[in-house]
Structure 1
Amino acid sequence: MKKNFIYTVLLLLCSFSFFNAQNADDKKQIIAAVTDILKGFQTHNRDLMNPYVNETYGVGILFKSSGDLGFVLNEDVDFSMPLGYIQKAWNIRNQFPVQFGTAPAYDAENKKWKKEGLFIELNSNIVNEYADAFLEQYPVKDQDIFKINVNSENVVLVTLAENSKENAPVNGFRFIMTKIDAKWFLTFIDVTEYDAE
């Protein structure tokens, strides 16, 4: 009986160690990708961002127009094209250290974040929440880019919550990354805090 208990404990410890190692590797990959993506967006350098766009799935832009959720699928990041209906890109400072955890709420009325920082939310269900929020005539759940985000364990929500001093149309920058074949990719840019109309 004692032997079985000891084997069970050892098996659990080994499983726990493997899980932690996998998490540590994921976090390392995610931080490297987030750094490149934010630097690319900050400097409008698509060459820093596009290695993180999967050639099969592209990158989706989630936005709001007249209160309704909208979606555009692009092959890659191209700064000569608007993000959704937003015509001008905005500036980000990107001066915060990475924090793993839930991002603060966005105050849409005052157009500012309740707390500033760079937040990475692991195991995020955000894409499924957005898919459920689309009007019924837009069956986005059938699109491959939404299907690959069904499992929240493979989804990370990144929020650079910073409040601009220069009346920028959007404060900060928010995007979604998805683990595809053991690599993390930029799958959505989320500009839903700003209503285009």
Structure 2
Amino acid sequence: MKKNFIYTLLFLFCSFSVFNAQTAEDKKEISIAVTDILKGFQTKNGDLMNKYMNPTYGIGILYKSGGDLGFVLNEEVDLNRSLGYIEKTWNIRNQFPIQFDTTFEYDAKNQKWKKEGLSVQFNSNAVNAYADKFLPQYSVKDQEIFKINSSPKNVVFVTLAENSKEKAPINGFRFVMTKIEGKWFLTFIDVTEYDAE
């Protein structure tokens, strides 16, 4: 009985160590990717962002029009084209260190973040939450880009919460990364805080 207890503890300890090692590796990979993606957006370097694109799934741009949620699927990030209904990319400062599992709240009425910072949320259910907000006639859950994001354990939601000094369509930058076949990819850009109408 005592041996079984010791073996059980040893098994749990080893399992926990492996889990932590994977999390540490994921944090390292995500940190590098988030830094590159934000730098790419800040410097209008689509190539830097596209190195995190999965050619099979592309990238979804989530936006709002007249209060309704919509999305377009692109093969790559092209900063010369509009993002949803946003005609041009906006400026970000990108000055904050990454905070893991912190959330920042957006004040839609005043169109600004209540607190600024850079958040990376592991195990995010963000894409499923978006899918639930689409009008019933749009079967987005059947589309591959949504299917690969259906398991929160493979989804990271990134929020750069910063308020622009000048008038801008959007403050900060939000996007989703998804682990596909062991590698993290940029799968969604969220511009839903700007309503086209």
In the other structure, the counterpart of 2:41 is: 41
In the other structure, the counterpart of 2:98 is: 98
In 1, Cα distance between equivalents of 2:149 and 2:102:
18
Letter in structure 1 aligned against 2:82: P
In 2, Cα distance between equivalents of 1:143 and 1:40:
27
TM-score (ref. length: structure 1): 0.99
Question: Structure 2: which 5+ runs fail to align?
Answer: none
In the other structure, the counterpart of 1:28 is: 28
In 1, Cα distance between equivalents of 2:73 and 2:103:
25
In the other structure, the counterpart of 1:80 is: 80
**1:61 aligned counterpart, secondary structure:** strand
Question: 1:166 offset after TM fit, Å?
Answer: 0.5
Instruction: List 4+ stretches of structure 1 deviating above 4 A.
Output: none
Correspondence 1:111 to 2:111 = yes
Choose 96-105 or 37-46, whichever is displaced more.
Answer: 96-105
- Check whether the contact 2:81–2:88 (CA below 8 A) recurs between aligned residues: no
In 1, Cα distance between equivalents of 2:140 and 2:102:
25
In 1, Cα distance between equivalents of 2:11 and 2:96:
39
In 2, Cα distance between equivalents of 1:120 and 1:34:
9
Matches within 5 A, 1:1-197: 1-197=1-197
TM-score (ref. length: structure 2): 0.99
**1:52 aligned counterpart, secondary structure:** coil
Question: 1:102 offset after TM fit, Å?
Answer: 3.3
Q: Equivalent pairs: percent with the same residue?
A: 74
**1:99 aligned counterpart, secondary structure:** strand
Question: 1:88 offset after TM fit, Å?
Answer: 1.9
- Check whether the contact 2:100–2:120 (CA below 8 A) recurs between aligned residues: yes
In 2, Cα distance between equivalents of 1:24 and 1:106:
29
In 2, Cα distance between equivalents of 1:158 and 1:75:
21
Deviations 1:124-181 (A, max 9, x none): 0000000010001111001000000000000000000000111111000000000000
Deviations 1:84-116 (A, max 9, x none): 011021100000000001321100110100110
In 2, Cα distance between equivalents of 1:85 and 1:114:
25
**2:87 aligned counterpart, secondary structure:** coil
- Check whether the contact 2:79–2:88 (CA below 8 A) recurs between aligned residues: no
In 1, Cα distance between equivalents of 2:195 and 2:172:
15
